[in-house]
A and B are shown apart, each in its own frame.
Chain A
Amino acid sequence: MPADQWHADQDGETLVPTHCCFCGVQCGMYLRVDRGGKVFGVEPRNHDINRMRLCPKGINAYQQVNHPDRLTAPLMRRSRDEEFAEVSWDEALDFTVSEIRRIQEMYGKDAFGLLGGASLFSEKTYLVGKFARVALKTKHVDYNGRLCMVSAAGANKLAFGIDRAGNPFSDILLTDCLLIAGSNVGECFPVLTQYVWGARDRGASLIVVDPRETAVARTADIHVALKPGTDSAFFNSLLCVIVEEGLADEAYLAEHTTGWEEVKAKALEYPPSRAAQICGVPAEQIFQVARTFARAPKAMAWHARGIEHHSQGVENCLTVINLCAATGHIGKPGAGYGTLTGQGNGQGGREHGQKADLLPGGRSILNEEHRRQICEIWGIEESELPTAGTSMMEMVWQMQRREIRGLIGICNNPFVSLPNYRVVKEGYDATEFHAQFDFFLSETAANAHVVFPVTTWAEDDGVMANAEARVVKHNKAQEPPPGVRTDTWVMCELARRLGAGDKFAFADSREVFEELRTASRGTVIDYYGITYERLEETGGIAWPCPSTDHPGTPRLFEDGRTYHEDGRIHLQAVEWHLPMDPYSDEFPMSLTTGRTVAHFLSGNQTRRLGALVEQTPRPWAEVHPSHGFRTGEPVRVVTRRGSEVFPALVTEAIRPDTVFLPYHWPVPTAANALTIDALDPRSKIPEYKVCACRIEHASELDTVPSPPVAPGHVAYPETQVSRTDPLPPTSPQGRGTSERS
């Protein structure tokens, strides 16, 4: 009996192989399904991504499937002053279609927008892009992956001509030097830690660049606790040392790159003495890191939102690429770069046309040739295809200015996840019509006119691409509850009612996937060789995969060529600049935000699961002891956007000039009521990871609101238990379970 299949057939129970719905690791798991066909548990699965391992989110994920908070009937109201009422699908769809028609007739096609999500299966993200352009005929479509890793995507595209990580996770085990920048691996990608520890067991050096001493930083050979927003100065300075000490791989640079001279000249402007001042770290560390990384036979750099969520997010990522290229650490087993995707389908979610400027297969919506190819597949005239729209945050600004009057949101929760909450609320409130797809009533859905109850990941088939660009298949484990439909069905039905039914005659995910495969054929993001059957057989295939006998491409550039026409890495010189929110006497400190292991993104899913709420019931403000707070004392965090009060978690694991807030909760305990809506000019990612702030003593804590539930439902008691507890968890990872009976 295979070690991970013991439960099958016991008491009529079955195990359905699938993957976790949450982060970009995409751990394999089995869902335990009872005789009645209902998901009731989880069993670890020996998939080669995670080899049985799961984090607490993965273990508890199954509990959302049959959770009492699930939406099971469409909710509707004609104005925001009314209460929601449960209505029939016909009524909700008819109202939505009439509002779309009304708004588009009065204000033009582009006055209606669509916002998708990167937790959707790739089939659905493909449909979001097609639905916007073919059924709604609007250019305004974007997705919440815009808040996730578009900076890395932009940088990779610029430098390599391809938008994905260069190496598979398993390469981490082969490296001699692992540099992790701006990523709290232990909490955000816990299952990846086994690869990090595996590298360490082999004697690899570990370098962590992060303002906080995270669980992984704690064990690093070198932990560079730099000041938030100074990453590109730091990486430039590493290059400066590498150049000055003759550690650059000039032969590799000459053969495989362009732009090295400019990059080198710029880097020399950042000697360690200067960078040390900017970054607030000892110059000695810069020398140490540069030498360790450059001299290692094989070195890798992995990064995440810590360096990407900045007004110079793309540039930060470019400096990391410069570092890898300058030392020749590219395209070899154990040498290269990777980006750690936050959302399950953060990678796949942007590949097939959900992003404002992209068509399926990563084609550009502004490229004549690409437009023609897609119009042929979609069967529309090229003149009918809209051009590029704007990014998610920009769309909210347009809503605020009433340029976008109507909106459909699918699988996203901007009320918690976008920066500068006040602006977001104003934007959404200004819309004349807003519909939201979700399976729980999110804070954003609670503000809508129509809410469509849709399936969870366990109720439909579909694929996701994880942080390695490995496409994996999720399998349907149970029938959706009565009243619930798949997102695919809802989009196709809306399209039909809008008169585009012939272009949306999809019965299920498989049919959408077949069109997606064809639509991606011949592009860089080639899925043509990937089929459901092959995915089930192999456990995952990394794209590009141009034919059904192609094994996929886990590691890029092994032949030394990039995806640019000249086959070279296009290096770009980067000038560091200050974050957008200026420091002043009034706001002298940096506020930075991030995740905690028990919760996922906007918390709409995890804030409803008892075990996860108990582990981390509420947000806190992490501050250094030098400010004179005691753990649990109320601390007011003030920025130019507002102020909120959190219990202090006093720890030496953070820089004295920095405050950390986890961002999974809504107002009045929302980190994003305080963060700034400044964007990177290229990727349009918001600058979540740094803004100016100050902290003050306060008398009373702000309380954490319960997640919204549909009318007639009672808030699930399990999630209420510890929310009233004012104390912060004892550690960033959560509350210790030290009650000893």
Chain B
Amino acid sequence: MMGRTIFIDPGRCIGCQACVSACRECDSHRGKSMIHLDYTDEGQSVASLPTVCMHCEDPVAPCAEVCPADAILVTADGVVQQADTTRCIGCANCVNACPFGVPKIDLGAKLQMKCNLCYDRTAYGLAPMCATVCPTGALFYGTVEELQAERPGVQVADTFVFGSTEVRTGVAMVVPADKVQWPVPGGLPVVEINGKDVRR
């Protein structure tokens, strides 16, 4: 399966936002975090879930696909890079195309910014900042074998469904064992558009 990548295990997340703070320390976008931390069940529970760039593989990263300026490069090892500053025109197409809501636009600078899997660190064999510091291992960087050696029996999924579209990603989710056969739902099914039930 996949090589070294990030595994997300929401069951471990304590919502501390160390990942968010660490992401700000990354030399390639210092001062800004590219991680979203969502509290999924506000008012009921303290459950939380980090979203990092999923580095989509198949179909080729939607953000890169829609970029009119060819600013988003995908490296040979599957890392979807943040937009090349000499090419990006700040049009925000990528923001709209990403099924996970990852890229951000710096409106002032008219530049896109997104997680590039800490390419400046991973190129040296280091883990990305977020997964390095995450106190709980909710973000884990390594191979699936390394993950399973540390957490025996754990299962992962790297396929998400959005309606009828399946997206296979470079970053994987840790899922409960009995769910691993199926893709993880990536979004709520669309049932209504402009007040019309579109299921029929």
A732 within 8 A of B: yes
Q: Are B46 and A52 in contact (CB under 8 A)?
A: no
Q: Are B16 and A186 in contact (CB under 8 A)?
A: yes
Q: Are B133 and A59 in contact (CB under 8 A)?
A: yes
Q: Are B36 and A55 in contact (CB under 8 A)?
A: no
Residues of chain A in range 187-219 having any CB-CB distance to chain B below 8 Å: 187, 190-194, 197, 201, 213-216, 218-219
B37 within 8 A of A: yes
B151 within 8 A of A: yes
Q: Are B14 and A215 in contact (CB under 8 A)?
A: yes
Q: Are A651 and B44 in contact (CB under 8 A)?
A: yes
Q: Mark B96-129, 1 if CB is under 8 A from A, else 0.
A: 0000010111000000000000000100111101
Q: Are A215 and B15 in contact (CB under 8 A)?
A: yes
Q: How far is A404 from B151 in the complex, measured between Cα atoms in Å?
A: 58
B28 within 8 A of A: no
Residues of chain A in range 721-740 having any CB-CB distance to chain B below 8 Å: 730-734, 736-738, 740
A193 partner residues in chain B, CB cutoff 8 A: 12, 14, 135-136
B194 within 8 A of A: no
Q: How far is A190 from B18 in the complex, measured between Cα atoms in Å?
A: 9
| A741 in contact with B105 given A55-B18, A60-B21, A214-B46 (CB within 8 Å) | yes
Q: How far is A52 from B18 in the complex, measured between Cα atoms in Å?
A: 12
B42 partner residues in chain A, CB cutoff 8 A: 631, 651, 730-731
Residues of chain A in range 381-415 having any CB-CB distance to chain B below 8 Å: none
B16 partner residues in chain A, CB cutoff 8 A: 55-56, 186-187, 190, 215, 597, 733
Partner of A42, one of B12, B15, B25: B25
Q: Mark A1-20, 1 if CB is under 8 A from B, else 0.
A: 10110100000000000000
Q: Are A218 and B135 in contact (CB under 8 A)?
A: no
Q: Are A737 and B121 in contact (CB under 8 A)?
A: no
B43, B44, B105, B150: residue with the most chain A Cβ atoms closer than 10 Å? B43
CB closest residue in chain B, given A615: B17
B145 within 8 A of A: no
Q: How far is A41 from B124 in the complex, measured between Cα atoms in Å?
A: 19
Residues of chain A in range 201-243 having any CB-CB distance to chain B below 8 Å: 201, 213-216, 218-219
Residues of chain B in range 13-56 having any CB-CB distance to chain A below 8 Å: 13-18, 20-22, 24-25, 33, 35-39, 42-48
A59 partner residues in chain B, CB cutoff 8 A: 18, 21-22, 25, 133
Q: Are A653 and B46 in contact (CB under 8 A)?
A: yes
A54 within 8 A of B: yes
B64 within 8 A of A: no
| A201 in contact with B151 given A215-B48, A733-B48 (CB within 8 Å) | yes
Q: How far is A552 from B133 in the complex, measured between Cα atoms in Å?
A: 28
Q: Are B39 and A731 in contact (CB under 8 A)?
A: yes
A42 partner residues in chain B, CB cutoff 8 A: 25
Q: Mark B144-167, 1 if CB is under 8 A from A, else 0.
A: 000000111000000000000000
Q: How far is A418 from B151 in the complex, measured between Cα atoms in Å?
A: 43
B79 within 8 A of A: no
A650 partner residues in chain B, CB cutoff 8 A: 43
A588 within 8 A of B: no
| A741 in contact with B46 given A6-B126, A611-B21, A731-B39 (CB within 8 Å) | no
Q: Are B133 and A740 in contact (CB under 8 A)?
A: no
Q: Are B18 and A631 in contact (CB under 8 A)?
A: no
Tell me, rounded to whole Å, the shortest Cβ–Cβ distance linking A515 to chain B: 37
Q: How far is A173 from B69 in the complex, measured between Cα atoms in Å?
A: 51
A640 within 8 A of B: no
Q: How far is A612 from B24 in the complex, measured between Cα atoms in Å?
A: 12
B21 partner residues in chain A, CB cutoff 8 A: 56, 59-60, 611-612, 615
Q: Are B45 and A197 in contact (CB under 8 A)?
A: no
Q: How far is A187 from B133 in the complex, measured between Cα atoms in Å?
A: 15
B18 partner residues in chain A, CB cutoff 8 A: 53-56, 58-59, 190
| A598 in contact with B132 given A3-B126, A59-B25, A653-B46 (CB within 8 Å) | no
Tell me, rounded to whole Å, the shortest Cβ–Cβ distance linking A571 to chain B: 35
Q: Which secondary structure characterizes the binding site on chain B?
A: loop
B125 partner residues in chain A, CB cutoff 8 A: 1, 3
Partner of B15, one of A52, A201, A733: A733
A652 within 8 A of B: yes
Interface size classification for chain B: 35 or more
Partner of B33, one of A52, A216, A651, A737: A737
B74 within 8 A of A: no
Q: How far is A465 from B72 in the complex, measured between Cα atoms in Å?
A: 49
Q: How far is A41 from B22 in the complex, measured between Cα atoms in Å?
A: 11
A481 within 8 A of B: no
Q: How far is A190 from B105 in the complex, measured between Cα atoms in Å?
A: 31
B172 within 8 A of A: no
B11 within 8 A of A: yes
A625 within 8 A of B: yes
Q: Are B20 and A615 in contact (CB under 8 A)?
A: yes
Q: Are B48 and A190 in contact (CB under 8 A)?
A: no
A625 partner residues in chain B, CB cutoff 8 A: 43
B13, B14, B18, B127: residue with the most chain A Cβ atoms closer than 10 Å? B14
Q: Are B152 and A52 in contact (CB under 8 A)?
A: no
Q: How far is A213 from B35 in the complex, measured between Cα atoms in Å?
A: 25
Q: How far is A218 from B15 in the complex, measured between Cα atoms in Å?
A: 12
A44 within 8 A of B: yes
| A55 in contact with B20 given A197-B12, A736-B37 (CB within 8 Å) | no
| A736 in contact with B38 given A3-B126, A219-B11, A615-B20 (CB within 8 Å) | yes
Q: How far is A476 from B133 in the complex, measured between Cα atoms in Å?
A: 23
B92 within 8 A of A: yes
B137 within 8 A of A: yes
B33 partner residues in chain A, CB cutoff 8 A: 737
B88 within 8 A of A: no
| A653 in contact with B121 given A731-B39, A741-B104 (CB within 8 Å) | no
Q: Are A44 and B133 in contact (CB under 8 A)?
A: yes
A736 partner residues in chain B, CB cutoff 8 A: 36-39, 48
B134 within 8 A of A: yes
Tell me, rounded to whole Å, the shortest Cβ–Cβ distance linking A576 to chain B: 29
B95 within 8 A of A: yes
| A740 in contact with B48 given A54-B135, A194-B135, A734-B15 (CB within 8 Å) | no
A737 partner residues in chain B, CB cutoff 8 A: 17, 20, 33, 35-37
Tell me, rounded to whole Å, the shortest Cβ–Cβ distance linking A48 to chain B: 15
CB closest residue in chain A, given B9: A197
**Known contacts A186-B14, A187-B16, A731-B46, then 12 further A-B pairs from the complex at CB < 8 Å, ordered by chain A residue:** A44-B133, A190-B18, A191-B135, A197-B137, A218-B47, A651-B43, A651-B44, A652-B45, A653-B45, A730-B42, A731-B39, A741-B104
Can you sample 22 A-B contacts with CB below 8 Å?
A42-B25, A44-B132, A56-B16, A56-B18, A59-B22, A186-B14, A201-B150, A215-B14, A215-B15, A215-B16, A218-B45, A597-B14, A650-B43, A651-B43, A653-B45, A730-B42, A731-B42, A731-B48, A737-B35, A738-B38, A740-B95, A741-B103
Q: Which 3 A-B pairs have the closest CB atoms?
A: A186-B14, A741-B104, A733-B15
Binding site for A on B (CB under 8 A): 11-18, 20-22, 24-25, 33, 35-39, 42-48, 92, 95, 101, 103-105, 121, 124-127, 129, 132-137, 150-152
Binding site for B on A (CB under 8 A): 1, 3-4, 6, 41-42, 44, 50, 52-56, 58-60, 186-187, 190-194, 197, 201, 213-216, 218-219, 597-598, 611-612, 615, 625, 631, 650-653, 730-734, 736-738, 740-741
